[in-house]
């Protein structure tokens, strides 16, 4: 049985770039607030994948530590974002960001 070959860093970076691009397209194209939040999470996870890949490549734990902070910020963003979304949905009965003009007087 042959030895296990390591996955090259380039593959991780290509996958992270594809995931980030899908997230950007989701934010720019979709109008549902839930889909926009999921796209932002996808972009954050693409950055996390990139940080972990570089951290493993260089043999240190700095990227892993930063990923934990990014995950904590993402969890806070999701909880606050969903609370705002539920509040808007209760008052306006829509989750479409085009229909919500909350800051208009």
**Can you give the CATH number for the domain in which 44 is found?**
1.10.287.3510
Residue 55 lies in a domain: yes
Contacting residues for 67 by C-beta, under 8 A, at least 6 apart: 48, 51, 52
Residue 58 lies in a domain: yes
Looking at residue 3, its pLDDT comes to 52
Please report which helix (H) or strand (E) contains residue 40, including its range.
Answer: helix 33-58
Which of the pair, 68 or 88, is modelled with greater confidence?
Answer: 68
Give mean pLDDT, residues 71-79. 90
Residue 35 lies in a domain: yes
Say yes or no to pLDDT of 39 above 90.
Answer: yes
Domain range for 96 is 31-105
For residues 73 and 36, the answer to whether their CB atoms sit within 8 Å is no
Looking at residue 101, its pLDDT comes to 62
CA 81 to chain CA centroid, nearest Å = 13
pTM value surpassing 0.85 = no
Say yes or no to pLDDT of 1 above 80.
Answer: no
Residue 5 lies in a domain: no
Q: How far is CA 20 from each of CA 31, 85, 90, 94, rounded to the nearest angstrom?
A: 18, 23, 31, 27
Residue 75 lies in a domain: yes
Number of domains in the chain: 1
Say yes or no to pLDDT of 92 above 80.
Answer: no
């Amino acid at each position: 049985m042959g030895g296990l070959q390591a996955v090259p860093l380039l593959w991780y970076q290509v996958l992270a770039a594809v995931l980030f691009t899908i997230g950007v397209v989701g934010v720019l194209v979709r109008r549902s607030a839930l889909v926009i939040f999921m796209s932002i999470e996808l972009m954050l996870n693409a950055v996390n994948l990139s940080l972990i890949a570089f951290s493993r490549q260089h043999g240190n734990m700095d990227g892993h530590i930063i990923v934990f902070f990014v995950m904590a910020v993402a969890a806070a963003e999701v909880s606050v974002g969903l609370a705002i979304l539920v509040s808007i949905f209760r008052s306006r009965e829509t989750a479409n960001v085009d229909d919500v003009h909350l800051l208009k007087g």
